[in-house]
Amino acid sequence: MTAFRAMIRWSLRHILGRKRLVGLGLFGLVPAVVMAVVGQTASDASLLKEFHAGPLLTVLFGVLPITTLVLGAAALGEERRDGTLSFLLLRPTSRTSIVGAKLASVWLGSFLIVGGSVGLAALVLGVRSGHWTPFGPVLLAMAISTLAYAAAALALGYLTGRAVLIGLAYLVILENGLALAIDGMATVSLMRIGLTAYWALLPDRTAAVAFSEINQLMASLAPGALGAAAKALVIAGLVVAGTAWLLRHRDVA
């Protein structure tokens, strides 16, 4: 367990370099800035709608996928391409533990930025309007979707040097296109996994106000926090098992 924690700490330092942390951190401030600017002119009654129509969507379609793609692609992919992965594989540690530690570091590092981004925007909302109910649900939702995205990005980064480009294509084609246009495609949307949890955890009055901004994104999906968490955990488990298998057979140390 000590070795596992040590790998997480080392991986966090690796993926959260100063330039990445500053760049992604500044990007993560955008939703809060938008919320603060909107709060200057919008009424308290309309700020909740503005939160779902602006800052939340910015996190879902911008901060969340880009952050996880950048950090996930770096976790194993950079080490493999730089030739340092072999040194890690020489350690008396199972491949499953190595991949699990890498995934944990990507999740924690990504949630530091994604959770901070949406949490700060929700904080501005609460201070400006008194609407505090979205704060807890939106943090949990981002934790769930961040895990799903981090797992996919970790595997993609290990398999190809074009993980970020492929991930952005997925974002544009599926998340912004097919998931809205074709019934059933929303079920393969990683972002919407967390969104179903958020929708389920909102109190009735808050959900009613946010309905028009979120309902279209939900498509055919039903709200459900436990189901969303289970999906994210299954994706993470499959990625850990599959990538560990590849490490044993593709990168033999």
pLDDT in tens, 197-211: 998 888 876 766 666
Q: Around 70, how many Cα atoms within 13 Å sit in the side-chain half-sphere? A: 21
Q: Which residues contact residue 22 at a Cβ distance below 8 angstroms, ignoring those fewer than 6 apart?
A: none
Angle of helix 135-159 relative to helix 163-170, nearest 10 degrees?
Answer: 130
pLDDT at 253: 47
pLDDT at 92: 65
CB 88 within 8 Å of CB 73: no
Measured between alpha carbons, how far is 75 from 90 in angstroms, rounded to an integer? 17
Measured between alpha carbons, how far is 115 from 107 in angstroms, rounded to an integer? 11
**Phi, psi (rounded to 5 degrees) for 161:** -80, -5
In the chain, which residues have pLDDT < 50? 252-253
Measured between alpha carbons, how far is 135 from 68 in angstroms, rounded to an integer? 21
pLDDT at 181: 61
Sign of dihedral through CA atoms 228, 193, 132, 207? negative
pLDDT at 180: 63
Q: Which residues contact residue 108 at a Cβ distance below 8 angstroms, ignoring those fewer than 6 apart?
A: 8, 12
Q: Around 28, how many Cα atoms within 13 Å sit in the side-chain half-sphere? A: 25
> Which 3 state secondary structure label does DSSP give 216?
helix
pLDDT at 1: 60
- Separate counts of helices (H) and strands (E) for the chain: 15, 0
Q: What is the pTM of this model?
A: 0.89
pLDDT at 33: 93
The identity of residue 15, as a single letter, is I
| pLDDT tens digits for range 100-151 | 999 999 999 999 999 999 999 999 999 988 889 899 999 999 999 999 999 9
pLDDT at 217: 76
Classify residue 5 by burial, with Cβ atoms within 10 Å: 0-12, 13-18, 19+: exposed
Other beta carbons within 10 Å of 166: 16
DSSP for residue 187: G
